[in-house]
Amino acid sequence: MVVGDFAIDLDTVVIGAGPGGYVAAIRAAQMGQKVTVIENTFIGGVCLNVGCIPSKALINAGHAFQEAQGGSVFGVESKGATLNWAKTQDWKQHKVVERLTGGVGMLFKKHKIDVVWGTAFLKDDHSLRVMQKDSAQTYTFKNLILATGSHPIEIKGFKFGKRIVDSTGGLSLPEVPKEFVVIGGGYVGSELASAYANLGAHVTILEGTDSILPNFEKDMVKLVTNSFKQRGVDVITGAMAKEAVESDHGVKVTYAVDNAEKTIDADYVMVTVGRRPNTADMGLDIVGIETTDRGLIKVDNQGRTSVPNIYAIGDIVPGAALAHKASYEGKVAAEAISGKAAAVDYKAMPAVCFTDPELATVGLTQKEAKAQGIDAKAAKFPFAANGRAISLDQTDGFVRLVTNPEGTVIGAQVAGPGASDLISELSVAVESGLNAEDLALTIHPHPTLGEAIMDDAELALGMPVNI
Catalytic residues: 446
Single out the residue of 143, 116, 112 nearest to residue 127, CA to CA. 143
Q: How many CB atoms lie within 10 A of CB 464?
A: 16
H-helix segments, 318-392: 323-337, 366-371, 387-391
* Three-class secondary structure of residue 172 per DSSP: coil
- Angle of the 419-432 helix axis to the 451-460 helix axis, nearest 10: 50
- Give the separation between CA 333 and CA 294, rounded to whole angstroms: 22
CA distances from 112 to 3, 33, 55, 237, 334 (A): 20, 10, 31, 51, 16
- Measured CA to CA, the distance from residue 235 to residue 254 in angstroms comes to 15
> Angle at Cα 331 formed by Cα 325 and Cα 335, nearest 5°?
145
Q: What is the CA radius of gyration of the chain?
A: 24
- Which residue in 129, 166, 136, 162 sits closest to 150, CA to CA? 166
Query: Quick count: other Cβ atoms within 10 Å of Cβ 211?
Result: 15
Contact 151, 278 (CB under 8 A): yes
Identify the CA nearest to 329 among candidates 145, 151, 107: 145
Could you tell me the CA-to-CA distances from 61 to 68, 70, 103, 176, 194 in Å, in that order? 11, 14, 23, 12, 11
Helix (H) or strand (E) holding 460: helix 451-460
How would you classify the pairing of strands 12-15 and 35-39? Answer: parallel
Using N-to-C axis directions, what is the helix angle for 323-337 and 21-30, rounded to 10°? 30
